[in-house]
């Protein structure tokens, strides 16, 4: 009976204190997760408050919270949803996660932490908080493309987090970073995942459909949670975390099509045990440790906010989402949360990390949770400010790039075969894999190679190491060059798709936009392969040599990028004159007049690099009349730009920021189809910014 009383005492203290703190945080309009963490601090052993819960009991209950949280996460993921989020979220997720893993590992090394602790830090800060973002989006009523992109990236991040946990479990359990054991770990993980998924897809979906057909809620609930615990236990038997098994169970049930019903039934049970989990997180917080590691917490928090913003924004922009959406997506994901707690807890349970990493993780999460609503609210003004401060060539490029990618998508979807793209991607990935194998293999096998060679040739270890490094560099160079070369071929393929070359003998009016698109896509493809390679190889290669190789390549591409952006600016300036001439001939032509849309359609066929061209005529009732282009900030708000303006008296002016709009003006708008339509709407109601 003593154990029962201890259990009852612990759960009573935890839930009652959590109830008080969560009501308080609801009143303060703060995330309830922070209330649960505060409750954990109160009932934990590190503060002098006479409300101490049995930590062992709470930790045991918190495991149920982890399992149910990951199970619910799996219910939101399915192979169908992976197909829906497509390549856009995948590209963004891979780029930003790779940058954050590299950043976290580098910071850990600078702090003097071990290799494993540094790797765990990289994984911890790479995963944003689904719970926090979803809550803030609902509170601020964020909808549209911005929300779709962020949700898609969160799904990709969760999958990457699951991969981290599986690999880290194998590494921390004894295999380390040695080549043989590491390959065994990856092979074992692949076998486990393939077995569970393949067998599960045969049995679980039809089983869940037949159970749900009984129309008994308690039966569906018990069967679902029972299956979740069974797969979690199976994962533990194979040496992996229960969280991985729970996620797989949820994703298999999601394939049945009954995930909404199961999620609705599981939600109350999940919420209760999730509250216990977050309380257990708070119980591990030692204020003395946080004070001791305050500088590290400040640096990591700054890195999460700044680097996550840059990584997500850059990846989003490369997919053609536009400057405004990219900035808003980046500022939305600048935090860490529940998945980071789970990864930090995994490191603690495996004795792979010191006791300091968990409270540091919680402190960073708490700070970034508080800043997230502020950053999301400020993302619109920040996008406007950034657009105004960008150099003119970059402003022009940012406006047109989205329209080029839009055209690429349209033409690519209409093509019957994607064979050439798939072949090029396979070549690039193969080059990256071989390059990574050379780098990692050389690092892991260096001492063995030195021993073998020194036994045959009488040379010093330093000379042998230098020779091995030179040989490895010579072997790696063709593959490094191959990535750059294939990236250019991919860029050319897509650029010619969006901006077809003119027939021989004719002037190529789209040469400048095409070159700009080729360089951008080449840079993007190199980042997509190079950043994960850099993140994976960093434990084996010192950061300085790795940066010494990557930075010169990026600098060269950046210089080429700037030169082409300058050429593009001149091309657009000349194109604006053509647009102005077309509008002018529309007003004063001797032949039967064509509409402004028809004139601009002809210009678009001649100069497709200028993006989607649309005319908008202003009436006296439009609120934008009398305002300058700078006051409207049309490009910053909508992503569209004004190429030319025709006055009602026939005069055409080159638009400047100080140009004041007048009644009867006809504006020639350029950008993506969505951007120009949004701009037309904005001009009609300039006080309301479109989402």
Q: What is the total residue count of the chain? A: 691
Nearest of 319, 346, 157 to residue 241 by alpha carbon = 346
- Between 537 and 501, the higher pLDDT residue: 537
**Are 622 and 642 contained in the same domain?**
yes
Predicted pLDDT at 173: 60
CATH number assigned to the domain comprising residue 618: 3.30.70.1450
pLDDT in tens, 435-489: 888 888 887 777 778 787 877 777 777 787 788 888 888 888 888 888 888 888 8
pLDDT in tens, 216-232: 888 888 888 898 899 88
Cα separation, 535 vs 307, in Å, equals 14
Q: Which of the listed residues 336, 360, 389 is the one where a domain comes to its end?
A: 389
Choice among 297-301, 354-358, 418-422 with the minimum mean pLDDT: 418-422
**Are 509 and 615 contained in the same domain?**
no
Backbone region of residue 42 per phi and psi (left: phi > 0; alpha: psi in -120 to 50; beta: other values): alpha
571 within some domain: no
**Are 548 and 586 contained in the same domain?**
no
Cβ atoms of 636 and 671 closer than 8 Å: no
Cα separation, 16 vs 4, in Å, equals 18
Measured from the Cβ of residue 180, the count of other Cβ atoms closer than 10 Å reads 9
Q: Which domain holds residue 638?
A: 577-684
**Exposure string (b/e) for 227-251, b if CB count within 10 Å is 16 or more?**
bbbebbebbeebebbbbbbbbbbbb
Cβ-in-10-Å burial (0-12, 13-18, 19+) of 649 comes to exposed
Structure tokens that stand for 42 in this block? 């109160």
**Are 385 and 398 contained in the same domain?**
no
Nearest of 348, 297, 330 to residue 116 by alpha carbon = 348
**Are 590 and 547 contained in the same domain?**
no
Cα separation, 613 vs 579, in Å, equals 9
657 within some domain: yes
Cβ-in-10-Å burial (0-12, 13-18, 19+) of 620 comes to exposed
**Are 370 and 398 contained in the same domain?**
no
Cα separation, 179 vs 658, in Å, equals 63
pLDDT in tens, 250-275: 888 888 877 788 888 888 888 888 88
Structure tokens that stand for 188 in this block? 């074992």
| Secondary structure class of 642 (helix, strand, coil) | strand
In this prediction, residue 490 has a pLDDT band, given cuts at 50, 70 and 90, of confident
In this prediction, residue 629 has a pLDDT band, given cuts at 50, 70 and 90, of confident
Predicted pLDDT at 405: 86
Residues in CB range of 417: below 8 A, 6 or more apart: none
Cα separation, 77 vs 291, in Å, equals 39
Cα separation, 327 vs 308, in Å, equals 11
333 has a pLDDT exceeding 50: yes
567 within some domain: no
CATH number assigned to the domain comprising residue 17: 1.20.1530.20
Cα separation, 363 vs 90, in Å, equals 29
pLDDT in tens, 143-167: 777 877 887 788 788 778 877 877 7
* Site of tokens 């860029």: 491
Predicted pLDDT at 663: 81
Cα separation, 479 vs 483, in Å, equals 6
Cα separation, 497 vs 504, in Å, equals 17
The structure's pTM equals 0.82
**Are 599 and 505 contained in the same domain?**
no
**Are 532 and 655 contained in the same domain?**
no
When divided into structural domains, the chain yields a total of 3
């Amino acid at each position: 009976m003593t154990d029962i009383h201890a259990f009852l005492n612990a759960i009573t203290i935890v839930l009652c204190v959590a109830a008080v703190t969560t009501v308080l945080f609801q009143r303060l309009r703060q995330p309830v997760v922070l209330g649960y963490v505060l409750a954990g601090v109160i009932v934990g052993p590190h503060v002098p408050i006479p409300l101490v819960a049995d930590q062992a009991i709470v930790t045991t209950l918190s495991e149920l919270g982890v399992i149910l949280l990951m199970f619910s996460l799996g219910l939101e993921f399915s192979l169908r949803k992976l197909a829906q989020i497509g390549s856009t979220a995948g590209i963004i997720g891979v780029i930003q996660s790779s940058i954050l893993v590299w950043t976290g590992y580098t910071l850990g090394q600078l702090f003097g932490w071990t290799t494993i602790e540094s790797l765990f830090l990289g994984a911890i800060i790479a995963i944003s908080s689904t719970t926090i973002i979803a809550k803030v989006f609902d509170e601020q009523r964020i909808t549209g493309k911005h929300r779709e992109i962020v949700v898609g990236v969160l799904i990709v991040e969760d999958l990457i987090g699951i991969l981290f946990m599986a690999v880290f479990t194998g590494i921390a359990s004894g295999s380390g970073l040695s080549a043989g054991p590491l390959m065994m770990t990856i092979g074992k993980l692949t076998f486990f995942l393939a077995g569970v998924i393949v067998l599960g897809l045969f049995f679980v979906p039809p089983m869940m459909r037949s159970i749900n057909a009984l129309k008994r809620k308690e039966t569906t609930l018990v069967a679902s949670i029972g299956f979740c615990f069974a797969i979690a236990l199976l994962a533990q038997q194979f040496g992996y975390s229960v969280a991985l098994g729970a996620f797989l169970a949820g994703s298999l049930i999601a394939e049945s099509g009954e995930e909404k019903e199961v999620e609705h039934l599981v939600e109350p049970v999940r919420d209760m045990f999730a509250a216990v989990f977050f309380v257990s997180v708070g119980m591990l917080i030692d204020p003395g440790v946080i004070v001791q590691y305050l500088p590290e917490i400040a640096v990591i928090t700054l890195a999460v906010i700044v680097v996550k913003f840059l990584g997500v924004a850059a990846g989003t922009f490369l997919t053609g989402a536009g400057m405004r959406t990219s900035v808003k997506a980046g500022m939305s994901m600048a935090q860490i949360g529940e998945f980071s707690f789970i990864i930090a807890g995994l490191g603690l349970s495996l004795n792979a990390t010191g006791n300091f990493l968990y409270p540091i993780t919680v402190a960073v999460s708490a700070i970034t949770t508080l800043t997230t609503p502020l950053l999301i609210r400020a993302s619109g003004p920040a996008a406007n400010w950034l657009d105004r401060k960008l150099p003119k060539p970059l402003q022009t490029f940012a406006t047109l790039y989205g329209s080029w990618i839009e055209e690429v998508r349209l033409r690519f979807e209409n093509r019957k075969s994607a064979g050439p793209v798939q072949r090029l991607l396979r070549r690039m990935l193969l080059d990256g894999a071989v390059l990574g194998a050379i780098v990692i293999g050389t690092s892991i096998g260096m001492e063995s190679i030195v021993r073998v060679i020194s036994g045959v040739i009488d040379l010093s270890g330093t000379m042998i190491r230098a020779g091995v490094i030179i040989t490895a560099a010579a072997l790696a160079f063709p593959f490094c060059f191959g990535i750059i070369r294939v990236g250019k071929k991919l860029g050319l393929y897509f650029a010619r798709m969006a901006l077809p070359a003119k027939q021989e003998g004719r002037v190529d009016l789209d040469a400048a936009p095409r070159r700009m698109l080729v360089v951008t896509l080449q840079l993007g493809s190199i980042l997509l392969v190079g950043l994960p390679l850099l993140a994976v190889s960093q434990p084996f290669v010192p950061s300085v040599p790795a940066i010494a190789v990557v930075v010169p390549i990026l600098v060269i591409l950046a210089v080429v990028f700037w030169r082409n952006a300058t050429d593009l600016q001149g091309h657009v300036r000349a194109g604006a004159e053509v647009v102005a001439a077309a509008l002018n001939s529309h007003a004063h032509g001797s032949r039967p007049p064509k509409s402004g849309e028809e004139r601009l359609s002809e210009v678009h066929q001649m100069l497709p690099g200028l993006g989607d061209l649309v005319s908008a005529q202003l009436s006296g009732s439009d609120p934008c009349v009398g305002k300058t282009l700078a006051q409207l900030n049309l490009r910053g708000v909508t992503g569209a730009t004004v190429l030319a303006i025709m006055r009602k008296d026939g005069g055409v002016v080159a638009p400047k920021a100080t140009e004041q709009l007048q009644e009867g003006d006809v504006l020639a708008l350029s950008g993506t189809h969505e951007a120009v339509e949004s701009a037309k709407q904005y001009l009609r109601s300039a006080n309301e910014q479109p989402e």
